[in-house]
Amino acid sequence: VKEARKAMFSAMISEKVPGRDFLDMDKLAELSDGLSGGEIKNSIVIALSAAVSRKGDLQKVSQKDFEEGIGSTKKAKKDVGRYDYDG
């Protein structure tokens, strides 16, 4: 359910994370429909890693970071098992 996913985002993203106050948790919960708790955690790690890789004031997380993290996680979930490792 959407409320459970929203609660996961709220709990897993520390209040100390710069930029957290500007995140739309409802939108993140909506976009993450179909993801498990572990997959939501993976999307958060991707988003936070993107922010940390930037310099100075740009190290604040953004809504875009999380939306891209969710997108990457959904793509990886869809692509699992589609690779031919014999080639």
Amino acid 57: pLDDT: 83
Amino acid 81: pLDDT: 66
Amino acid 71: pLDDT: 97
Radius of gyration of the chain (CA): 14
Amino acid 80: pLDDT: 82
Amino acid 9: pLDDT: 98
pLDDT in tens, 10-60: 999 999 999 999 999 999 999 999 999 999 999 999 999 999 999 988 889
